[in-house]
A and B are shown apart, each in its own frame.
Chain A
């Protein structure tokens, strides 16, 4: 035993530094194994993280695509709705057959013009026109021809008016014109030009063609507006009553004529005077 230890001691003495190097190397190798294991674990985790990241990126891209698709669909729907709303708005204020304003919207514009003239007291003229013997057009050429006549008259009036004037289908075969800032004389002149233009058009429908005439009643409002709002609507009513009376007179006088009512100075204004 003593022998052995002495031998070992002597070996130890001879190869001391080599043994220490080997021992050190062995320790390092043991550590390397541990490090390798750690690196393997890290690599596995990293691979998993990369896979997760790739998947998340794909998912995000997919979601963005879906969002874009939804956005485009929504934009399309918003646009379609806006178009539909505009279509409804136009339908609500337009006469379906002739595509000019209907009476309701026209009267709103009249009231708007009445307000607009409150300070300027500019003359405000209106005209009512009625197609002469319209019933016989329907009876002779058929209702389709009658409808076409209404469309052609509406288009002719629209094309012949000044930009500030407004035309509407008053009802049946009657149309109405609003002529802001136009005195009685000019309104009468404009109505007469329209009367002449209408008498010159030829309407073609279903293989036949025919012409027509129209009678006009013109009325003009001068002086200040009525003092209170309530009488504003009455003022417009009175103006159209004058125009209607004049139209009736034109019909009585043989049709295809323009009769102009005496310019109406509103009653409130007359009272002030």
Chain B
């Protein structure tokens, strides 16, 4: 089995991304307004798609912790979620945890909004205080 892991360090404009193929986890956290959203998210999609294809029978847990994201990043997140929902529809066990600061209404609303798209994957809204 090829290792499809991916690790991207956070910058002031882009989130940290970590796909741990062995443990079946994907995490994204921080702020997201990269200069070129396609260039940033392209390799992430590719890695996730390859991992999903190569890890039949393995569950995937996705942890999202965003402070802020711009419109392009929102579109990228929607595409990623669609890909995950389709994989779940095909039988893969997928859990998505949407972490947000309880004082951040916008992130909460976005999470609630995204939650509506999932029928096959599990989507959890997780309020999380910073010192928790």
Give B48 Cβ to nearest chain A Cβ, in Å.
19
Contacts of B71 in A (CB 8 A): 56, 59-60, 63
Interface residues of B in 53-99 (CB under 8 A from A): 70-71, 74-75, 78, 82
- A66→B106 CA distance, assembly (Å): 9
Give A96 Cβ to nearest chain B Cβ, in Å.
42
Interface residues of B in 85-121 (CB under 8 A from A): 106, 109-110, 113, 117
Contact A56 B75 (CB under 8 A): yes
- A45→B36 CA distance, assembly (Å): 25
Contacts of A60 in B (CB 8 A): 71
Consensus secondary structure, chain B interface = helix
Q: Mark A49-63, 1 if CB is under 8 A from B, else 0.
A: 001100110111011
Contacts of B82 in A (CB 8 A): 48
Give A246 Cβ to nearest chain B Cβ, in Å.
68
Contact B78 A59 (CB under 8 A): no
Contact B106 A55 (CB under 8 A): no
Contact B75 A52 (CB under 8 A): yes
- A60→B71 CA distance, assembly (Å): 7
Contact B78 A55 (CB under 8 A): yes
Contacts of A56 in B (CB 8 A): 71, 74-75
- A66→B117 CA distance, assembly (Å): 25
Contact B109 A62 (CB under 8 A): yes
Give A157 Cβ to nearest chain B Cβ, in Å.
56
When C-beta atoms are compared, the residue in chain A nearest to B82 turns out to be: A48
When C-beta atoms are compared, the residue in chain B nearest to A62 turns out to be: B106
Give A51 Cβ to nearest chain B Cβ, in Å.
8
When C-beta atoms are compared, the residue in chain B nearest to A60 turns out to be: B71
Interface residues of A in 16-69 (CB under 8 A from B): 48, 51-52, 55-56, 58-60, 62-63, 66
> Could you list 21 A-B pairs, sorted by A, with CB under 8 Å?
A48-B82, A51-B117, A52-B75, A52-B78, A55-B74, A55-B78, A55-B113, A56-B71, A56-B74, A56-B75, A58-B113, A59-B71, A59-B74, A59-B110, A60-B71, A62-B106, A62-B109, A63-B70, A63-B71, A63-B106, A66-B106
Contacts A56-B74, A63-B71 supplied; 7 other A-B pairs, CB < 8 Å: A51-B117, A58-B113, A59-B71, A59-B74, A62-B106, A62-B109, A63-B70
